[in-house]
């Protein structure tokens, strides 16, 4: 009797175990659980989550211990350099205006005396709705002649060479400012369709201002390149360090020289209509580690408590 009773109890217990296991599997399929404490971090995004729209700049904070020698991230093949700020390292992550919407990994490598450490963050890229502009223009205003085409290609290569250089020091500090006061067109990301053909999207913001109005640097940096180009006219490229560049185009006058240090709010030029421009305005562009971002996404970033710049 005892044996038979024990056998019945055992069978009932086995059926209960099966039901319990089935319930756990069912719940796990509906409410996925994260890795158990101490388990290998083989999933992306195990160290945090961020989100932003195309063209936006995100402030990423990485907690650290000890004295790391270097903290470097990679996002969609682009380098993200971090700098020390109190008990953490901070990096500005640029989401390119055409990055594919969805969740992507920001992989961060921390080099420290205790040995290398790898961190993983999920970044949700959300689609931004850009305006569409349709234009019908005379063919000679759209298609370049051979001589102009050669010039434009050489100028593009000159700009690419400058923007490919990533200064290790951080020159900027504190808040970023608008370079000139005026009516903002909201042109960033605008899709231009000329004579039925799609053209490159507008990769900066246009600010209408009077001819000769003073144009200021958005933050501390170094004037890496001054130009007078076919499309952008007279312009200044300012290196703010750690892969952050700002550009100021269609100027009537440039007031800085290549290699000169500039301070936030310093006048570096004056509003004009040089190059391919229909009237006086400033084209203000920003590149962050190669990503084309809306310059106004820098305005209002929460940057309080950061240490001074590290030139």
Number of domains the chain is built from: 3
- Measured between alpha carbons, how far is 26 from 235 in angstroms, rounded to an integer? 61
Q: Answer yes or no: do 245 and 262 share one domain.
A: yes
Residue 231 in domain? yes
Q: Answer yes or no: do 67 and 89 share one domain.
A: yes
Q: Answer yes or no: do 99 and 243 share one domain.
A: no
Tell me the mean pLDDT in the region 132-142: 75
Residue 307 has a pLDDT of 67
**Top-confidence residue, 97 or 311:** 97
Give the angle subtended at the CA of 26 by the CAs of 24 and 28, to the nearest 5°. Answer: 65
Residue 48 has a pLDDT of 92
Is a pLDDT exceeding 90 seen at residue 138?
no
Residue 14 has a pLDDT of 43
Is a pLDDT exceeding 80 seen at residue 244?
yes
CATH number of the domain bearing residue 244: 2.70.70.10
Q: Answer yes or no: do 65 and 79 share one domain.
A: yes
Residue 32 has a pLDDT of 34
What lies within 8 Å, CB to CB, of 112 at 6+ separation is 64, 65, 66, 67, 68, 69
Residue 220 in domain? yes
CATH number of the domain bearing residue 57: 2.60.40.1590
pLDDT per residue over 39-92, tens digit each?
Answer: 344 457 789 999 999 999 999 999 887 777 789 999 999 999 999 987 789 999
What is the maximum span of the chain, computed from C-alpha positions, in angstroms? 105
Is a pLDDT exceeding 80 seen at residue 136?
no
**Top-confidence residue, 239 or 26:** 239
- Which residues form the domain of 94? 49-126
Residue 279 has a pLDDT of 92
Q: Answer yes or no: do 53 and 144 share one domain.
A: no
Q: What is the mean pLDDT of the chain?
A: 84
Is a pLDDT exceeding 90 seen at residue 194?
no
- Measured between alpha carbons, how far is 19 from 220 in angstroms, rounded to an integer? 65
Residue 39 in domain? no
Q: Answer yes or no: do 111 and 138 share one domain.
A: no
Residue 43 has a pLDDT of 54
Is a pLDDT exceeding 60 seen at residue 200?
yes
Residue 229 in domain? yes
Tell me the mean pLDDT in the region 25-40: 33
Q: Which of 98, 126, 154 is the last residue of a domain?
A: 126
Residue 54 has a pLDDT of 97
CB-CB contact of 187 with 196 (8 Å): no
Q: Considering the chain, what percentage of its residues have pLDDT values greater than 90?
A: 63
Is a pLDDT exceeding 70 seen at residue 99?
yes
Is a pLDDT exceeding 50 seen at residue 269?
yes
Tell me the mean pLDDT in the region 10-38: 36
Is a pLDDT exceeding 90 seen at residue 11?
no
Is a pLDDT exceeding 90 seen at residue 19?
no
Tell me the mean pLDDT in the region 274-296: 95
Residue for token digits 């990994």? 105
Tell me the mean pLDDT in the region 140-149: 82
Residue 275 has a pLDDT of 92
Q: Answer yes or no: do 75 and 109 share one domain.
A: yes
Residue 140 has a pLDDT of 66
Q: Which of 66, 100, 126 is the last residue of a domain?
A: 126
Number of residues written out for the chain = 311
Residue 300 has a pLDDT of 81
Residue 302 in domain? no
Residue 98 in domain? yes
**Lowest-confidence pick of 33-37, 66-70, 228-232:** 33-37
What lies within 8 Å, CB to CB, of 130 at 6+ separation is 97, 188, 189, 190, 191, 201
């Amino acid at each position: 009797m005892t044996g038979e009773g024990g056998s019945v109890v055992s069978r009932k217990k086995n059926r209960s175990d099966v039901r319990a296991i089935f319930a756990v599997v069912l719940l796990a399929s509906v409410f996925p659980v994260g890795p158990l404490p101490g388990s290998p971090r083989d999933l992306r995004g195990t160290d945090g989550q961020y989100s932003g729209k195309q063209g936006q700049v995100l402030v990423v904070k990485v907690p650290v211990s000890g004295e790391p020698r270097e903290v470097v991230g990679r996002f969609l093949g682009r380098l993200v350099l971090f700098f020390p700020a109190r008990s953490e390292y901070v990096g500005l992550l640029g989401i390119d205006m055409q990055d594919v919407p969805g969740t992507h990994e920001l992989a961060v490598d921390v080099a420290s005396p205790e040995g290398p450490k790898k961190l993983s963050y999920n970044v949700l890229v959300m689609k931004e709705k850009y305006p569409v502009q349709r234009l019908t223009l005379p063919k000679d205003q759209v298609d370049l002649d051979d001589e102009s085409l050669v010039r434009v290609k050489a100028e593009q290569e000159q700009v690419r060479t400058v923007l490919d250089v990533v200064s290790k020091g951080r020159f900027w500090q504190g808040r970023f400012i608008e370079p000139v006061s005026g009516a903002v067109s909201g042109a960033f990301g605008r899709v231009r369709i000329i004579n039925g053909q799609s053209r490159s999207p507008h990769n900066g913001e246009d600010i209408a201002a009077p001819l000769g109005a003073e144009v200021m640097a958005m933050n501390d940096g170094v004037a890496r390149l001054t130009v007078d180009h076919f499309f952008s006219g007279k312009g200044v490229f300012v290196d703010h360090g750690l892969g952050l560049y700002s550009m100021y185009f269609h100027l009537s006058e440039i007031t800085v020289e290549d290699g000169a240090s500039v301070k936030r709010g310093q006048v570096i030029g004056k509003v004009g209509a040089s190059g391919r421009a229909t009237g006086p305005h400033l084209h203000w562009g920003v590149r962050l580690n190669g990503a084309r971002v809306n310059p106004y996404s820098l305005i209002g970033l929460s940057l309080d408590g950061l240490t001074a710049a590290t030139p």
